[in-house]
Amino acid sequence: MSRFLDVGVASLVPYVPGEQPKDAGYIKLNTNESPYPPSPSVIAAVKAESEKLRLYSDPETSDLTAAIAEFYGVGQKNVIAGNGSDEILAFIFKAFFGEKGAACPDVSYGFYPVFCSLFGIKYNPVPLDENFMIDASAYVDVMDNIVIANPNAQTGIYLPLDKVEEIARSRPDRLVVVDEAYVDFGGETAVPLTKKYGNLIVVQTFSKSRQLAGGRVGFAVADESLINDIKTVKYSFNPYNVGRLGIAAGCAAMKDREYFDACRSKIIATRGRVAYELAKLGFTVLPSKANFLLIRHGGVGGEEMYRALKQRGVLVRHLKDERIKDFVRVTIGTDDEMDVFLKKTAEILGELK
Ligand code: PMP
């Protein structure tokens, strides 16, 4: 820490992203990326756009918001795009949460409390129930704004849409932000509900189901007045927040529905098979509708499992949160990658006997 660091920043505990090793030898199941490449139309669009990199990108990201609006059947004015959904979430926390505070599940995306400390927002963790489920009724009387990931981060458990609606309906004077980073792997999006509830913001990303984690594209859908408020923060911070390549990639990805459906169907099928095999090996597997599984084995601790797999060339994620420290989180890769993961896992368990 330098002697120049602001005291407010010195006390921050930043978010720690999963490892991104330079060594391509690992089977990488640690940051919930897609194991499949971007669609061929994305690659062609990015190549064509690279000719124009001399020029700034469109600050309104109009082509991208039009493609998103068309996909979801909402107005273009109901959409804002960002440099990954992390940026969109940061804009939202900054725009709306100062006075209200943020109520979030106690086990969820680790960035929510970090945004709270960055922007001086009160963080109110609401416990998941004993089965790691979000209890919608626990949010009804909460006065803070609410942020839930659905399916929830780390657990993968999906909260049915009627429960999301119940939370949004119960108190129209507080915002409900639904982070749907993983919704395309078996959940149902709350986007249509944004037409009915002026206090609901749905956030999504191109990083998981649209193969663009490195392209950094995310977006939010909400009532136009909320989108305009988010734009006030964006234009006070980084008007050209999505670069030309991100806009081109995002547009092409949104338009290639066939490729999107093919990739997510493969991941859903692989997830089912892997969950079944892990249960046979004696793992507790939380019921996931995401592109990852949170798993625990009585015979081996979470950290130990993570290390043993890493030694064998498979990277998974171990999260230190008290309630899930006995688990590891395993991204769903290709079938071949998951076969190696299952084989190495069985080996590790065999050696413990
Ligand atoms: N929300 C959740 C729940 C996530 O797990 C992630 C990925 N780490 C994000 C948002 C951010 O994704 P991105 O910034 O890549 O869009």
What digits encode the pLDDT tens for the residues 42-75? 999 999 999 999 999 999 999 999 999 999 999 9
Alpha carbon of 280 to ligand 1 centroid (Å): 31
Alpha carbon of 115 to ligand 1 centroid (Å): 13
Largest CA distance in the chain: 62
Alpha carbon of 85 to ligand 1 centroid (Å): 6
Who contacts 212 (Cβ-Cβ below 8 Å, separation ≥6)? 38, 42, 206, 246, 249, 250, 253
What digits encode the pLDDT tens for the residues 243-257? 999 999 999 999 999
Residue with tokens 């139309």: 41
Reduced to 3 states, what is the DSSP secondary structure of residue 145?
A: strand
Kind and range of the H or E run holding 67: helix 62-72
pLDDT of residue 259: 98
What digits encode the pLDDT tens for the residues 144-199? 999 999 999 999 999 999 999 999 999 999 999 999 999 999 999 999 999 999 99
Alpha carbon of 352 to ligand 1 centroid (Å): 35
Alpha carbon of 109 to ligand 1 centroid (Å): 8
3-state SS of 208-245? CCCCCHHHCCEEEECCHHHHHHHHHHHCCCCCCCCCHH
pLDDT of residue 164: 98
Cβ of 85 below 6 Å from ligand 1: yes
pLDDT of 273 strictly over 90: yes
- What mean pLDDT, rounded, does the chain reach? 97
> Which of these ranges, 12-16, 304-308, 324-328, 346-350, has the smallest mean pLDDT?
12-16
Q: Name the DSSP class of 294.
A: E
Alpha carbon of 181 to ligand 1 centroid (Å): 6
Query: Which ligand 1 atom is at minimum distance from the Cα of 108?
Result: 3
Q: Which of 205, 217, 219, 289 to mutate to test the pocket of ligand 1 (most atoms within 8 A of CB)?
A: 205
Alpha carbon of 82 to ligand 1 centroid (Å): 12
The stretch 283-311 carries a mean pLDDT of: 97
Q: Which of 178, 207, 211 to mutate to test the pocket of ligand 1 (most atoms within 8 A of CB)?
A: 207
Q: Look at ligand 1, atom 12, and give the residue with the nearest C-alpha.
A: 85
80 to 134, 161, 282, 330, 335: CA distances (angstroms): 27, 23, 44, 31, 35
Rounded Cα distance, 326 and 337, in Å: 23
pLDDT of 353 strictly over 80: no
Q: Look at ligand 1, atom 6, and give the residue with the nearest C-alpha.
A: 181
The stretch 196-217 carries a mean pLDDT of: 98
Structure tokens at 230: 């988010």
Cβ of 207 below 6 Å from ligand 1: yes
pLDDT of 18 strictly over 90: no
Rounded Cα distance, 94 and 80, in Å: 15
pLDDT of residue 22: 84
pLDDT of residue 181: 98
The stretch 297-325 carries a mean pLDDT of: 96
pLDDT of residue 19: 86
Query: Which ligand 1 atom is at minimum distance from the Cα of 217?
Result: 16
The stretch 15-29 carries a mean pLDDT of: 89
What digits encode the pLDDT tens for the residues 80-112? 999 999 999 999 999 999 989 999 999 999 999
The stretch 265-289 carries a mean pLDDT of: 98
Alpha carbon of 91 to ligand 1 centroid (Å): 14
Cβ of 205 below 6 Å from ligand 1: yes
